[in-house]
Amino acid sequence: MVVRVVALSLVALSAALAVQPASRAQQSPVLVSYQQTGGFAAIERGLTVRRSGAVVSDGLAVKVKSLSPLRLRALRSALTAAAFPSLQDRYESDEPIADGFVYRIGYAGRTVQIEQGATLPARLDRVFKFLRSLTH
């Protein structure tokens, strides 16, 4: 009887642990991604900002390798204020631009696509300008 109770307790504990939310250590190290594609040369380049504040380039020339704690807080604040789940999936330009760029911002499992020249809501524009400010 004791063995059965212990076995059932272990099964219950295993099930409880399996449904626990992911710990911070299991989260993706990437806070936000920013990609730029298109243009005359059909480029594909981007960067990621890690939760640590490290800025990692994927072809984009970046101004800094790491955000200061103050700038990292500002980015996190802008990302939260942007309310990504409520943003449109795509922001198109009113006037198509031949060989224009398309930008993608990925945050919290959601990606928003922005065409060059698109009018953005202020809350998304703040994030977009912040990420662009990291590049040359």
Q: What pLDDT band is residue 57 in, cutting at 50, 70 and 90?
A: very high
Domain contains 68: yes
Find out whether 114 and 103 touch, Cβ atoms under 8 Å. yes
Measured CA to CA, the distance from residue 30 to residue 46 in angstroms comes to 13
Residue ranges making up the domain that contains 42: 28-133
- pLDDT score recorded for residue 26: 63
Domain contains 1: no
Between 38 and 23, whose confidence is greater?
Answer: 38
Domain contains 11: no
| pTM, to two decimals | 0.79
Domain contains 23: no
Distance of CA 130 to CAs 8, 25, 123, Å?
Answer: 53, 26, 11
Count of structural domains within the chain: 1
Domain contains 5: no
Q: What pLDDT band is residue 42 in, cutting at 50, 70 and 90?
A: confident
